Amino acid sequence: MELDKSCPKCSSVMQRGFILDHTAHSSNVVAQWQPGEPQRSFWVGVQTKNSPQYEIKAYRCKACGYLESYAL
């Protein structure tokens, strides 16, 4: 992954970061991507079994706020 990127909208500098997810247990975790439609569950919110998951890395433009995300 590139360390420095230019914003595709305004060509300003983009800063690398990640999408923060707050779970029901008040823990801070990195949001993850997985394929398919979300399968709702009363017990766990959304089921995740048998699906590969990837942490979401994101770049944010310091000028216009545009986000560009990657799941690697």
Nearer to Zn ion, 46 or 64 (CB): 64
Q: How far is the CB of 9 from Zn ion (least distance, A)?
A: 4
Q: How far is the CB of 62 from Zn ion (least distance, A)?
A: 8
Structure tokens at 39: 């399968």
Catalog residues that contact Zn ion under the rule CB under 5 A.
7, 9-10, 12, 61, 63-64, 66
Nearer to Zn ion, 30 or 64 (CB): 64
| 23-52 exposure pattern, b = at least 16 Cβ within 10 A, e = fewer | eeeeeeeebeeeeeeeeeeeeeeeeeeeee
